[in-house]
Chain A
Amino acid sequence: MVLLKFLIKRNYNYLLLGLIIVTFHQNAFCQDAESIFKKSCASCHSIGGGKLIGPDLQGITYKRESDWLVKFIKNSQSFISSGDVDAVAIGKEYNNSIMPPATISDVEINSVLAFIESKGAAGPKKKKVDYLLKATDENVIKGYRLFTGKDQFINGGSACIACHNVTNVGNGGWLAKDLTMSYNTMKGEGIKALLSSPAFPAMTNAYSNNIMEETEIYNLAAYLRSTATFKVPSNLYEPKSYSKFYFLGFSGFLFLAILFFAGWFFRKKQSVNHEIFKRQLRTEKK
C-alpha cells in the first residue's frame, strides 16, 4: 500500500500500470500452469496422489535439476537414448513406457515445474486403496461392451476397438497399442487418469469433446484388468473376423469385375455401318 501511494503521489502512472499487469499476469500464469498440468500431465502423473502410469511428481524439483527436467519433458525418448544414466534408469523402472514429447514451450514447461514446486516437497507415502477393489464381473461385461462398441459411450466417443485390440475381441484395431496387458503397467489408477484426460494426441482429438463418464472409465478399467489377469468371462471370447473382412473385400471386387465384364459383352462397340462393312468383307473372302 505504501508503494502504491508513493507511485500515485509521484505520478508514476506507467510504473503503476506495469505493476498491475505483472500482478495480474502472475495470477494468470498460476492458473495457466495448473490447467496445462491438468491437460498435458495429469493423465499419467499426480502431485502427491501416488504413482499412476508415471511417477508422482510431488517434490520432483527438489530432487532433479531444472535443466534435466526440461530435457526429459521435451523429449524423454531421445534423452534416454542419449545415454543419461538417470533417464535410462527411470525408463527401465517404468518398463520403457513412452512419454509423448511435450507440445508446450520451454516457458510453459518451467511454469508447470514452478506449479509443482508450489505444492511442496514430497511427504511420506500414503497407503493407496485399489481403485478396482469393488469391481465385479458385471463391470467387466459392461467394459467389454463399451470397448467393442456394442454399447455407445454416453457422450458419443468412438469405441476403443477402432484403434486398439485385446486378445478376446474378434476384430480389434491395430492403429494403436494392444491393450491386453496394459493393466500390468498402468494399474487401475493409471487407466482412470489416462481416460479422464487423455494425453496422447490421437486420443485427445477423439475424446476432447466426448469425455468419458466416470462409470464408463471404471468399467473399462475393470475389463482391462480382466484381460491382463486372464479372468475374462468365457462368454466374452469372440472368434477372429479379419479373414471375413479380406474375403468380403476380394470376393466383392470379383463380383463387380464380373458385372463389368458382362457390361463389356453387351456394350455396343461398333458403329452402325460396321455390319454392312463386315458383310462386304465376308463376300470377298468367298
Chain B
Amino acid sequence: MVDIFIFMALPYTSLLIMIIGSIFMYRLQAFKISALSTQLLESKQLYFGSQFMHWGIITLFFGHLLGFLIPQSIIVWNGDALRLLVLEGTALVFGIMFFSGLCILIYRRITNKKLHSLTSDMDFIVYAVLLTQAISGIWIAIALPWGSSWFASVLSPYLKSLFVLQPDIAAVSAMPLVVKIHISTAFILIGLIPFSRFMHFLVFPFQYVFRAYQVVIWNRNKSTIRNSTAINPEVKAKNN
C-alpha cells in the first residue's frame, strides 16, 4: 500500500503540482517569484558552495537522464570493467561534490546572520530534501554498486511505465529502502518546484556559465564613501 502511494500516486501528484503550480505562480504571482540572491551579502562561501553544488547536481541530473533515455547504450558501455569504473567513479565525484557544496551552503545559511532576513522555512525544507538526496545517492553508489547498470535495466522501465500511464511498480517495490528513499525524495523535489527557490530551474540560466561581469550599481551616496574622513574621522586624505 505504501509502495502504491510512493511509486504510483506521488509521481503523478508531484508532476501535476509542478505543472499547475508553476503556471499559477507565473500567471498570478509573477513579480513575487525570486530566488532571493544573497551574493551581495556574502560571496566567498557562496562561490564554493554554489559552484560545487550546482556542477554536482547538474551533472548527476543529466547522468540519470541518460540512464533513462538510452539504457541500452549504458548497459553496453558498462560491459567493459574499466569503462564501468570510469562511469561510476565520475558519478561518485559529482555526488561528493554535490554533497560538500550543499553542506557549505547550509552552514553558510545558518551561521551568517545577514542571510537570515532572506531565508524562509521553505529553504530549510529544500535543504532537507536535497541533503536526503545527496546522502542516499552516495550511500547507494558505495553500498549498492553498480547503480548505473541496474538503474538502466531495472528502474528505467519503471520510469517509462509512468510516462506511458501504465505504472508497473513491481520491480521498484522490491528495491532496498535507501533506493526507495532516493526515488521518493526526487518526486517530492519535483512537487516543491513552484513553491521554492527551485523555481529557477524553469528559466534555464545557461548564460550564467559564460556571462560577462555584471554591472552592479549601488544605490547610495558615493561621495560619502569616497571621503576617507568617513572611515577615519578627523583625518583628511592626502592623495586627493
Chain A positions within 8 Å of B, measured between CB atoms, are 100, 103, 148-152, 156-159, 161-163, 170-171, 173-175, 200-202, 204-206, 208-209, 238, 241-242, 244-246, 248-250, 252-253, 256-257, 260, 263-264, 267-269, 271, 277, 279-281, 283-284
Contact = CB atoms under 8 A, between A and B. Distances in A.
B146 interface: yes
Given A205-B170, A281-B228, A171 B144 contact: no
B235 A174 contact: no
A28 to B, nearest CB: 21
Nearest to A286: B238
Contact of B171 (A201, A245, A256, A284): A201
A116 B176 CA distance: 34
If over half of B's interface residues share one DSSP class (helix, strand or loop), that class is named, otherwise mixed; here it is helix
A202 B175 contact: yes
B190 interface: no
Given A201-B173, A202-B174, A152 B81 contact: no
B75 interface: yes
Contacts of A268: 213
Nearest to A151: B79
Interface of B: 43-44, 47-48, 51-52, 55, 72, 75-76, 78-81, 84-86, 88-90, 92-93, 95-97, 100, 141-146, 149-150, 152-154, 157-158, 168, 170-171, 173-176, 213, 216, 225-226, 228, 231-232, 235, 237-240
7 contacts: A171-B146, A173-B149, A246-B142, A252-B92, A253-B97, A256-B93, A277-B226
A149 B97 CA distance: 30
Contacts of A157: 75, 153
A250 B78 contact: no
Contacts of B225: 277
